[in-house]
């Protein structure tokens, strides 16, 4: 199941509009989105392949012999070109057949050195190069019905993993042990892989929004902050939970209630037509009025799809209106250096009238 067929037509329409004869797609999620070919890159210097999308006619997938079988099985409707020495060799072979005068490349996922070599080929074969930004990314922002279903399944599996792990958290466990338990459970339950490095932070460590799990052991009454996501059939999930094993103290409960109130106020604001900045402001206002305006330093949320961080953003700088079919996280938090932190993160689908909550609506506490 992939969304590539109508998306390919969308790309070709934009190429016609911009008078470009072809587009080279190098960004791994864009490549998968358009072709269904699932191989990831191991870093930009170890590409698993490129798409060459002509304005008219059938598209090409260019890759090396390690991926031939996978490419044939997955990239339905694509011609396959197997190269030995990489993109430049493949283009030198293919472009003369395709009568291409102008070609776009993805400037935000294209190495300077690759471009320099491509420029040499452009001079030799007589075509024009154009740097392109966010062409495919913009198409990915609004999800299809099929994609929404895959994101629902990814989120539900992520919840199942958390529920399973929650019953196994115990005093004395280290942050690293908890993070590994979560990631192993994801794989046991059938996830492709974690969608990012799992965060498990105890006590004061939860004050760092991007805490790296350490050898710190869990003590009674301490905050446990978990931020976890998985990939299932290519689609990502992302959620954060903050809780206490045993009896939470009054200050924790007060702060958790505040973050929860900020999250609920923000979610109730979401609908098609509202900007990400407006949604962010609602959560920020609740936290400021509660006395924690300075303690919330990051943006409220981000889009989720084939990438775990993608457009749109919910942040003070996000002035484009949301649209139905977008998927975003809503993750207010507060972080206090000597105390710790709280973050609650759920995912929602933006709809015309409001939003659809993808996560279970619980904090595991009687608030």
Task: Tell me which residues touch its own copies (CB under 8 A).
Answer: 42-45, 66, 105, 107-116, 131, 133, 180, 184, 187, 196-197, 208-210
Strand (E) or helix (H) holding 174:
none
Q: Which is nearer to its own copies, 184 or 320 (CB)?
A: 184
Q: Which helix (H) or strand (E) holds 130?
A: strand 128-132
Q: How far apart are the first and last CA of the chain?
A: 41
CB of 140 to its own copies, least distance (A): 15
Query: Between residues 113 and 167, which has the closer beta carbon with respect to its own copies?
Result: 113
Angle at 169 between CA 195 and CA 303, to 5 degrees: 25
CB of 184 to its own copies, least distance (A): 7
Q: 97 and 64 in contact (C-beta within 8 Å)?
A: no
Q: In Å, how far are 39, 119, 285, 309, 318 from 278, measured between CA atoms?
A: 37, 43, 11, 20, 8
* Nearer to its own copies (CB atom), residue 90 or residue 211: 211
Minimum Å distance from CB 119 to its own copies? 10
Q: How far is the CB of 66 from its own copies (least distance, A)?
A: 4
Minimum distance from CB of 212 to its own copies (Å)? 8
* C-alpha to C-alpha distances, 33 to 5, 143, 316, 340, nearest whole angstrom: 9, 11, 29, 39
- What minimum distance in Å lies between the beta carbon of 213 and its own copies? 11
Burial 315-329 (b: 16+ CB within 10 A, else e): beebeeebeebbbbb
CA distance 101 to 48: 26
Decide whether 237 or 264 has the Cβ nearer to its own copies.
237
Pick 7 or 186: Cβ nearer its own copies: 186
Task: Tell me how far apart the alpha carbons of residues 138 and 311 are, in angstroms, rounded to a whole number.
Answer: 8
Nearer to its own copies, 9 or 131 (CB): 131
Phi, psi for 334 (deg, rounded to 5):
-140, 140
């Amino acid at each position: 199941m992939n969304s590539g067929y109508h998306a390919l037509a969308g790309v070709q329409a934009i190429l016609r509009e911009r008078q470009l004869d072809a587009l080279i797609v190098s960004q791994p999620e864009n490549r998968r989105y358009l072709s269904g070919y699932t191989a990831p890159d191991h870093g930009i210097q170890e590409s698993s392949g490129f798409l060459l999308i002509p304005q008219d006619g059938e598209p090409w997938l260019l890759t090396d012999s390690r991926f031939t079988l996978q490419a044939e099985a997955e990239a339905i409707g694509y011609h396959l070109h197997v190269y030995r020495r990489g993109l430049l060799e493949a283009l030198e072979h293919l472009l003369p057949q395709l009568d291409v005068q102008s070609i776009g490349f993805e400037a935000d996922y294209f190495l300077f050195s690759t471009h320099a070599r491509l420029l040499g080929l452009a001079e030799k074969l007589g075509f024009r190069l154009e740097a392109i930004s966010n062409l495919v990314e913009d198409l990915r922002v609004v999800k299809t019905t099929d994609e929404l279903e895959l994101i629902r399944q990814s989120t539900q599996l992520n919840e199942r993993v958390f529920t399973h792990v929650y019953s196994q958290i115990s005093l004395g466990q280290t942050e690293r042990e908890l993070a590994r338990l979560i990631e192993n459970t994801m794989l046991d339950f059938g996830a492709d892989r974690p969608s990012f490095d799992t965060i498990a932070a105890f006590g004061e460590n939860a004050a760092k929004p991007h805490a790296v799990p350490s050898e710190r052991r869990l003590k009674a009454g301490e905050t446990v902050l978990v931020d976890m996501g998985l990939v299932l059939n290519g689609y990502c999930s992302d959620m954060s939970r903050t809780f206490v094993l045993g009896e939470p103290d009054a200050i924790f409960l007060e702060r958790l209630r505040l973050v929860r109130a900020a999250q609920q106020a923000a979610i109730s604001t979401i609908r098609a037509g509202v900007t990400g900045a407006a949604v962010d402001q609602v959560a920020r206002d609740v936290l400021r009025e509660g006395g924690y305006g300075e303690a919330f330093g990051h943006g409220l949320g981000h889009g989720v799809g084939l990438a775990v961080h993608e457009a749109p953003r919910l942040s003070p700088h996000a002035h484009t209106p949301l649209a139905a079919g977008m998927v975003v996280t809503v993750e207010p938090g507060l972080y206090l250096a000597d105390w710790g932190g709280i973050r609650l993160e759920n995912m929602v689908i933006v709809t015309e009238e409001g939003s659809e909550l993808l996560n279970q609506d619980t904090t595991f506490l009687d608030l």
